[in-house]
Structure 1
Amino acid sequence: MSSDELDRSVFESMIAGKPYLASDPYVQKIAREQGRKVKELNAEQDDEKREVLLRRLLNCKEDAEVGILMPFFCEYGFNITIEGDVFIGTGCTMLD
């Protein structure tokens, strides 16, 4: 079964805050993809590139000013909304 054919229903239950199986193939696929983004963000040394990666990972509003010290950890990222001015300190973990 290709990733395009995976059933999203368990993932949608998770997003809705309902019980779900973390071992679901689609949920695992999304977790791996987002985990790679977090690793890439933490490895980036250039501040401007890191900001671009952070905005791709999180749901940052266009006018949001975000300061961040590495490392940063989250489960998925797209469930985190950043509005206004935010500073994220070293070792911050957000469970989303």
Structure 2
Amino acid sequence: MTEKEKMINGELYDPSDQELVMDRQRARKITRELNNLKVYDEAQKKRLLEELFGTVSGYIGLETPFFCDYGYNIHVGDDFFANFDCVFLDVCEIRIGDRVMLGPKVQFYTATHPMDPKERASGREFGQPITVGHDVWIGGGAIINPGVTIGDNAVIGAGGVVTKDIPSGVFAAGNPARVIKNIAE
């Protein structure tokens, strides 16, 4: 199994592997071009995002700057919007449903490191995928941690640090984020 395959599968992998280094360089090149576009060049922005991301299922709105590790592990549904300064550490898949809105400075972290100090010192790392359902709003400055699933129709409050799954139809906030109320209430 290649280091890239290990990475995508959530197994320990070596990030200094030449294929992965080249993949990150590709993503840096595309994001640099994306972040330097003229404000009104929406057609070029869409083309670059379609080249960078694994899947773009329809309309995508994304304010720059934007940063990611690889890009190809990011899959967004239709009518996706991300505000300024979002960061996607996509060593594993980040799957985002339709009609999802992200406030500024939202961060998705699929990347993580071993807890054991000797294993961590080896330089090997791993990741866990993140899944976001449909019709989700994530407030500015929220951090979504590795392995988290956020259900449909959920709202994450600004600055929330999501460390565990959030069910559908709730408002969650805080550090760590916890369910505050059902949205229907």
Q: Same fold (TM over 0.5)?
A: yes
Q: Please, which of 80, 86, 94 is the counterpart of residue 88 of structure 2?
A: 94
- State the TM-score, normalizing by the size of structure 2: 0.45
Q: How many residues align?
A: 87
Q: Whose RCO is larger (CA < 8 A, sep 6+)?
A: 1
Residue ranges of structure 1 left out of the alignment (5+ in a row): 1-7
Question: Which residue matches 1:47?
Answer: 42
Question: Which residue matches 2:19?
Answer: 26
**1:60 paired to 2:56:** yes
Contact 2:56 2:78 in 1 (8 A): no
Q: What's the offset of the Cα at 1:25?
A: 1.2
Query: Which string of whole-angstrom CA distances, capped at 9 and with x for unpartnered residues, describes residues 62-81 of structure 1?
Result: xx111111101111111010
Q: What's the offset of the Cα at 1:42?
A: 0.8
Which structure dedicates a bigger proportion of its chain to helix? 1
Residue ranges of structure 2 left out of the alignment (5+ in a row): 91-185
- State the TM-score, normalizing by the size of structure 1: 0.84
**1:10 paired to 2:10:** no
Question: Which residue matches 1:5?
Answer: none
Q: What's the offset of the Cα at 1:49?
A: 0.8
Q: What is the rounded CA distance, in whole Å, between the counterparts of 2:10 and 2:44 in structure 1? A: 33
- Identical positions, percent: 32
Question: Which residue matches 1:84?
Answer: 78
Q: What is the rounded CA distance, in whole Å, between the counterparts of 1:27 and 1:88 in structure 2? A: 26
Contact 2:24 2:69 in 1 (8 A): yes
Q: What's the offset of the Cα at 1:55?
A: 1.2
Q: What is the rounded CA distance, in whole Å, between the counterparts of 1:42 and 1:76 in structure 2? A: 15
Question: Which residue matches 2:100?
Answer: none
Q: Give the letter aligned to residue 76 of structure 1.
A: Y
Q: What is the rounded CA distance, in whole Å, between the counterparts of 1:16 and 1:90 in structure 2? A: 30
Q: What's the offset of the Cα at 1:44?
A: 1.4
Q: What's the offset of the Cα at 1:12?
A: 1.0
Q: What is the rounded CA distance, in whole Å, between the counterparts of 2:47 and 2:15 in structure 1? A: 29
Moved over 3 A (4+): none
RMSD: 1.2
Which structure dedicates a bigger proportion of its chain to strand? 2
Query: Which string of whole-angstrom CA distances, capped at 9 and with x for unpartnered residues, describes residues 10-33 of structure 1?
Result: 111111111101111111111111
